[in-house]
Amino acid sequence: MDNIGHGGKEIVERILPRDEAVKKVEELKQKGAPEIEVRRQIATEVIDIAYGFFCPLEGFMGKADVDGVCKNMRLADGTVWSIPIVFDISDEELSQKGIKEGTEVLLTYMGNPMALFEVSEVFTYDKQEMAQNVYGTTEEKHPGVKRTYAYKDKFLGGKITLLNPPKINPVFEPFFIPPLEMRKRFQEKGWKRVVAHQTRNVPHTGHEWLMKGAWFQTYGELPIDKPYVGVLVNAIIGEKRVGDYIDEAIVLAHDMLRKAGYFGEHNHMTSITFWDMRYAGPREAVFHAALRTNLGLTHHMYGRDHAGVGTYYGPYDAHNLLMSIQDDLRITPTFSMNWLYCPHCGEVTYEGLCNHKDEWQKYSGTLIRSIIIDGVKPPRLIMRPEVFDVVMECAEKYGFGSPFVTEEYLEKRTPVFTIEPLK
Amino acid sequence: MAETYPINIWINEERFEKLQQAGLASMAKEKMAGLKVLPVPTNEEQKDKILKLFPMAKFDSATTKSIELLPREVKDRIFDLIIQKKTLDVIDDFIKMVEEERK
C-alpha cells in the first residue's frame, strides 16, 4: 500500500523530533514569540493535521481555501473538501499578542507547548454565509451552525508542526492509530480492502450487521482462500454532551465484538479519530470519506441519515452527494439500508430483503438506551451479552455509575489525551 | 380513540415477578426478540407534562412514538404505583405526586 492520501497527496507527518522540538520551543521563547493556549477542539485538530488525518491540509485554512470549501466544496487547488478547518481568534487577542502574517506562534495546551503555528494569513469570513453553505441552514439550533457562530471574529491561516505529541490515556491508547501506522497494520494483516464503520455509539446487533453487510459488499469478487477484507471501526472521539454514551463504553464495546468472537482478528479492528462532529449530514459524509482515505481505507459504509441531525437532511442525501463526486474520491462508498429484527424470520434482517413489513421491529438508538437505562439485559439477538456487560462495567469504572455522559463525567473524567511538559 | 404515547418500562425477572403477583403479567408485551416491556399509556396532555417535568426524557417521534430516556428511578416509581394500584392508569396520580413534591 502506498502512502497517498485524499486528493492524491502523499501523507507526511508534520511532527518535529523531540530534541529539535525542545530547541524550537527555546528559540521561540527567547525571541518572545506569542503563545496561544488553545481549546480542546483546536488541540484535536492540530493533532489531526500533524498526523495526516486531514491530508492534504498542512495547517489551518486560509481564506481562499475556506471560500472554496464553503462555496464549491473544494480547496483552492480543486481538491474536494467539505468542512472548513479554521483557527479563530478575537481582535483583542490578535492585537494584544501582535500576531500578523509571518508571525511564528507557539500553541500551548494544558499549559504546555504543543505546536508551532506559522501564521501566513489573518482574515475575516461571514459566519452566516459559512453556516448556510456548509450546513444548509443558518438556524442556531443546528449544532454545526451554533459552533460556527461561536467562532471569534478573525481567523488565522498557516502551517502547523507538532512539537509535543499527545499522551493518550491508557483506555484509548491502543486505539489511536494515525494514518501511516494504520496503513502498516493493514499491510501486516494482508487486507486488500478495508471498509470503514463510522460510530459514536455502543453497538447493538443492527450496527453489527451494518458492518457485516458492508464487509460482504466490500469483499465482492476477491478470492476467499485468505481473509482479504477488514472492517475498521473508527470511533469519533470529541465533544461530549450529557446523555451521549461515554467514550470508554463506545470504544471498548466495539472492541468486545471482536474479542467475543462476533468478528475476529482476521477481519476487524477498532480505532479512534479525534474530531468534534459538526452534524453536517452529506458534507460530513464527504469529510469522513477524506478522513478514512487518509487512514488507508478503500471503502466506507454509509447508512441512513449519515451524520445528520434533526430533519435538516434527507435520509439518503449523503449517498447522493457522494455519488456525485465519486470520481474525485479515492475511497468507494458502500451504501446500506436499515437492518432490523423480524419476529417472523426470527432473526436480524435487512429492509431490502425481508418482506414481513408489518411485523418489522426497527432498532431505535433511543429505545436501546432506554433499555440500558432500566438496567435490563437485552436479548442476544439485539445486543450481545458481552457488549452489554462491558458497557455496564464501563459505567462503573469510568462513568461514575452511568454508561451515559453526566455533568459529573464531564467534570471529572480522565481526558482522552494530555499534553505533557516538553523535556 | 385518542392516540396514546407509551412510557416503555422494560421488564427484567424481578419486575416480571412483581407483575405476576399483582395479576398484571398479561399486560407485558414482547418486543425486540422476546424482550418484555410494559407500555404505560399517556395521552397528549400527560405526555407533554412528563416531558416538561423530566427534561432529560425524549419523545421518540421517528421510530417508536414512545417516551424514552426517563431515569430508572422515575420508571421505578411509576412501576411501583402500577403494582400498588393494580392498573396501568396511574400517570395522572404520578404527575400529581411529582408536582406536589416540587412545590
What integer pLDDT is reported at residue B1 of this predicted model? Answer: 55
Give me the CATH number covering residue A105. 3.10.400.10
Of the three residues A165, A186, A211, the one that is the final residue of a domain is A165
Q: Which of A359, A372, A370 is nearest to A403 (CA)?
A: A372
CB contact under 8 A, B31 and A361: yes
Of the three residues A143, A165, A187, the one that is the final residue of a domain is A165
Residue A229, domain member (yes or no): yes
Task: Give the H or E element holding residue A211.
Answer: helix A205-219
Residue A80 DSSP symbol:
B
DSSP string, B29-82: EEETTTEEEEEE---HHHHHHHHHH-TT-EEETTTT-EEE---HHHHHHHHHHH
Q: Which of A35, A40, A158, A31 is nearest to A93 (CA)?
A: A35
Tell whether A184 and A156 lie within a shared domain.
no
Tell whether A192 and A125 lie within a shared domain.
no
Among B35, B40, B50, B58, the strongest candidate for a mutation testing the A interface, having the largest count of A CBs within 10 A, is B35
Does residue A339 sit in helix, strand or coil?
A: strand
Q: Which residues of chain B have a CB within 8 Å of the CB of A373? A: 69-72
Tell whether A119 and A13 lie within a shared domain.
yes
Q: Which residues of chain B have a CB within 8 Å of the CB of A369? A: 68-69
CB contact under 8 A, A371 and B34: no
Residues 345-404, chain A, touching B (beta carbon < 8 A): 361-364, 366-367, 369-371, 373-379, 381-382
Q: Which amino acid is at A372?
A: I
Q: Which amino acid is at A216?
A: F
Specify the number of domains making up chain A. Answer: 2
Chain B's closest residue to A369, CA to CA, is B69
What integer pLDDT is reported at residue B64 of this predicted model? Answer: 78
Q: Please report how many Cα atoms fall inside a 13 Å half-sphere around the Cα of residue A325, on the Cβ side.
A: 25
What integer pLDDT is reported at residue B3 of this predicted model? Answer: 85
Among A309, A376, A392, the strongest candidate for a mutation testing the B interface, having the largest count of B CBs within 10 A, is A376
Tell whether A229 and A129 lie within a shared domain.
no
Tell whether A235 and A376 lie within a shared domain.
yes
Distance from C-alpha of A338 to C-alpha of A133, rounded to nearest angstrom: 29
Tell whether A37 and A83 lie within a shared domain.
yes
CB contact under 8 A, A375 and B12: yes
Interhelix angle B13-21/B72-85, rounded to 10 degrees, is 20
User: What cell does A125 get?
Assistant: 469570513
Distance from C-alpha of A8 to C-alpha of A66, rounded to nearest angstrom: 20
Task: Give the H or E element holding residue A65.
Answer: helix A63-72
Give me the CATH number covering residue A328. 3.40.50.620
Q: What is the full per-residue pLDDT of chain B (103 aa) written as tens digits?
A: 578 999 999 999 889 999 999 999 999 998 888 899 999 999 999 999 999 999 988 898 877 789 988 988 999 999 999 999 999 999 999 999 999 998 8
Min Cα–Cα distance to chain A from B10, Å: 6
Residue identified by cell 404505560 is B40
Burial category of B26 from C-beta neighbours within 10 Å (exposed 0-12, middle 13-18, buried 19 and up): exposed
Tell whether A224 and A201 lie within a shared domain.
yes
Residue A350, domain member (yes or no): yes
Distance from C-alpha of B26 to C-alpha of B82, rounded to nearest angstrom: 13
Instruction: Give the domain range for residue A159.
Output: 6-165
User: What cell does B73 get?
Assistant: 428511578
Of the three residues A138, A165, A192, the one that is the final residue of a domain is A165
Neighbour count for residue A369 (Cβ, 10 Å): 22
Neighbour count for residue A123 (Cβ, 10 Å): 16
Q: Report the DSSP beta bridge partners of residue A237.
A: A274
Distance from C-alpha of A142 to C-alpha of A279, rounded to nearest angstrom: 8
Among A245, A312, A345, A366, the strongest candidate for a mutation testing the B interface, having the largest count of B CBs within 10 A, is A366
What integer pLDDT is reported at residue A212 of this predicted model? Answer: 98
Distance from C-alpha of A399 to C-alpha of A252, rounded to nearest angstrom: 13
Residue A28, domain member (yes or no): yes
CB A134 within 8 A of CB A82: yes
Measure Cα distances from B19 to A36, A379, B90 in Å.
61, 20, 15
Tell whether A153 and A36 lie within a shared domain.
yes
Average pLDDT per block of 10 residues along chain A, 423 residues long? 90 98 98 98 98 98 98 98 98 96 98 98 98 98 97 98 97 98 98 97 97 98 96 97 94 98 98 97 98 98 91 95 97 96 96 96 86 91 96 96 94 97 94
Q: Which residues of chain A have a CB within 8 Å of the CB of B68? A: 364, 366-367, 369-370
What integer pLDDT is reported at residue B60 of this predicted model? Answer: 85
User: What cell does A363 get?
Assistant: 432498532
- Phi, psi angle pair for B40, to nearest 5°: -95, 115
Tell whether A113 and A183 lie within a shared domain.
no
Residue identified by cell 398484571 is B24
Measure Cα distances from B83 to B4, B11, B16, B25, B41 in Å.
21, 13, 11, 11, 15
Q: Which is it for strands A339-342 and A347-350: parallel, antiparallel or unpaired?
A: antiparallel
Tell whether A244 and A289 lie within a shared domain.
yes
